[in-house]
Amino acid sequence: MTRTALVTGGSRGIGAAICLALQRQGVQVAANYRGEVSNAERFYAETGIPVFRWDVADADACTTGVAAVVERLGPIDILVNNAGITRDASITNMSSEMWNEVIRTNLGGCFNMCKAVFPQMKARAWGRIVNIGSINGQAGQFGQVNYSAAKAGIQGLTKALAQEGARAGITVNVVAPGYTDTEMVTAIPAKILEQIMARIPTQRLGRPEEVASAVAYLCHEESGQITGSTLSINGGQHMY
């Protein structure tokens, strides 16, 4: 049986790597994106993975978007909640809108997407949900009270939803990357990035493909006994 996966924020960075890993696993994949139409179109042209545009922070848009994916590809068996944004500042300088925007997108978007696909997974008694967390949701990070709170919230959401899904054959897990070689991380000023690298025992950034292979494993048919778990991929920077 061919499974169908939807990856939010799937046309670039870690999301794109996840889409490709699932595709290699024989999964039929759809990628959601919010902006940069030209990048999404290029991703589709290069991979053949169809792209669908909506904002995961908008609950109604998520319902409509999921319906569009189902109409084109069939019921969604696998959901990877990867979409996320940053609006960094110390709390003194962080506006309420900076806080709300990150919470709405990173945590609210995860809720919106889970809610949109969970009933159909439950009806078919099978599903895989993988939520992308972060080392900064586990350990915190200066200047990221919004992002760290949202990513920590994703871990709580995951553990609660895993209990709701377990008897219905739905697993829900978190993959929490550390600092990974993506545009978002490499945009950090070089001096600060050097300081970050010095705190990573492996002395390097992670690769998107390393995160993607872990996600693909958790989406596999044989991973059904793993649920409510967090898999950290951070080079040993944070262990607990």
Cite the active site residues: 147
Q: How far is it, in rounded angstroms, from Cα 228 to Cα 238?
A: 19
- Distance, in Å, from the CA atom of 162 to the CA atom of 80, rounded to the nearest integer, reads 14
The answer to whether 155 touches 211, Cβ cutoff 8 Å, is: no
- List own/partner pairs for 22-29 with CB under 8 A and 24 or more apart: 22/78, 22/80, 22/215, 22/216, 22/219, 23/47, 23/49, 24/216, 25/216, 25/219, 25/220, 26/2, 27/2, 27/3, 27/78, 27/219, 28/2, 28/3, 28/4, 28/73, 28/74, 29/4, 29/5
Q: Residue 196 has which token pair?
A: 């970050």
Q: Which residue bears the tokens 């996600």?
A: 215
Q: Are 9 and 83 in contact (CB under 8 A)?
A: yes
Q: What is residue 202's three-state secondary structure?
A: coil
